[in-house]
Amino acid sequence: MNDLIRIPCALMRGGTSKGPFFLASDLPSDPAFRDQILLSVMGSGHPLQIDGIGGGNPVTSKVAIVGPASIKGADVDYLFAQVRVDQQIVDISPNCGNMLAAVGPFAIEAGLVPVQGPTTLIRIHNVNTGKLIEAEVPTPNGSVSYLGDAAIDGVPGSAAPIALTFMDAAGARTGQLFPTGKPNEVIDGVSVTCIDCAMPMILLEAEAIGVSGFETAAELNGNKALLERLESLRIAAGERMGMGDVSNQVTPKPVLISRPRADGDINVRYFMPHQCHPS
């Protein structure tokens, strides 16, 4: 027997993210000890996370912890952890809707929820926000079906669809849809909307900070002045939203909005918060 601690997990993709899924009973109950394990598992502190299973990108440095429901009306608890890539930081303040898509299949595979028929409805209690989400998992033959025709941007190929219904998305972190009490305000000369719907965000027009919103993710990530400006606005917004010092948190997340050039009503670039989302 070697000197490593063996902890079972399942490596799963949910939406445009992926990461290890753990049963809560397989991890320490002490948050500090648990976080040290997650940092080690992901290999955080190195830009490539070379000594762990993280992929060197925020979308592949995420963890889901699932267990029996702790509240009435839910089937399972789901705690999400955003593990920083190059820093020893674990942030459990936000939810992640992408990883959420795989919670239902994992809960069935782990024996937490029985199959109900062709479709299994699972009520998920997100521990981070206290909100309930319903997941419809395809289980046509008495087990989870993973193959299907559903395709999403940011992921090659297709898979079985997972329908998610957020029962009450407003005020997920702060308790209010508009935490500052205003639908629009000015921070450091920029018109913004501070909103908390499923996740705290700061919305602003791309042109207001000197970009079109149609740059590639690599171009946006390489624009140091832009990233510094967004971080300054984000930290100021966090204070106004009653979230305190958010410098070591991933929320609120900046969102750049511009007019569409093709289909759709608006064009959106979402940051996580220090990199543009690759999809």
The H or E element containing residue 23 is strand 17-23
pLDDT at residue 7, as a whole number: 97
pTM of the model: 0.92
Total Cβ atoms within 10 A of residue 255: 20
Q: Which structure tokens are listed for 213? A: 């919103």
pLDDT at residue 136, as a whole number: 99
pLDDT at residue 88, as a whole number: 96
Which of these, 38, 27, 7, lies nearest to 67 by C-alpha position? 27
Euclidean distance between CA atoms 17 and 162, whole angstroms: 14
Total Cβ atoms within 10 A of residue 9: 18
The dihedral sign for the CA sequence 138, 141, 144, 150: negative
Q: Of 100, 131, 166, at which residue does a domain stop?
A: 166
16 neighbors 154 (Cβ within 8 angstroms): yes
Q: Which structure tokens are listed for 11? A: 């490596």
pLDDT at residue 2, as a whole number: 85
Query: Do the domain assignments include residue 4?
Result: no
Euclidean distance between CA atoms 26 and 112, whole angstroms: 14
Q: What is the CA radius of gyration of the chain?
A: 19
Instruction: Encode the chain (279 residues) as per-residue pLDDT tens digits.
Output: 688 889 999 999 999 999 999 999 999 999 999 999 999 999 999 999 999 999 999 999 999 999 999 999 999 999 999 999 999 999 999 999 999 999 999 999 999 999 999 999 999 999 999 999 999 999 999 999 999 999 999 999 999 999 999 999 999 999 999 999 999 999 999 999 999 999 999 999 999 999 999 999 999 999 999 999 999 999 999 999 999 999 999 999 999 999 998 888 999 999 999 999 987
Which of these, 194, 210, 207, 213, lies nearest to 251 by C-alpha position? 194
pLDDT, tens digit, 9 for 90 and up, residues 94-152: 999 999 999 999 999 999 999 999 999 999 999 999 999 999 999 999 999 999 999 99
pLDDT at residue 262, as a whole number: 86
21 neighbors 66 (Cβ within 8 angstroms): yes
Euclidean distance between CA atoms 152 and 236, whole angstroms: 33
Query: Do the domain assignments include residue 59?
Result: yes
pLDDT at residue 186, as a whole number: 98
Euclidean distance between CA atoms 19 and 21, whole angstroms: 7
Residues 26 and 144 in one domain: yes
Query: Do the domain assignments include residue 242?
Result: yes
Query: Do the domain assignments include residue 63?
Result: yes
Number of folded domains that form the chain: 2
**CATH number of residue 240's parent domain:** 3.10.310.10
18 neighbors 12 (Cβ within 8 angstroms): yes
Its domain, for residue 196, covers 185-270
Q: Which structure tokens are listed for 168? A: 């009450």
Residues 22 and 122 in one domain: yes
Euclidean distance between CA atoms 158 and 125, whole angstroms: 27
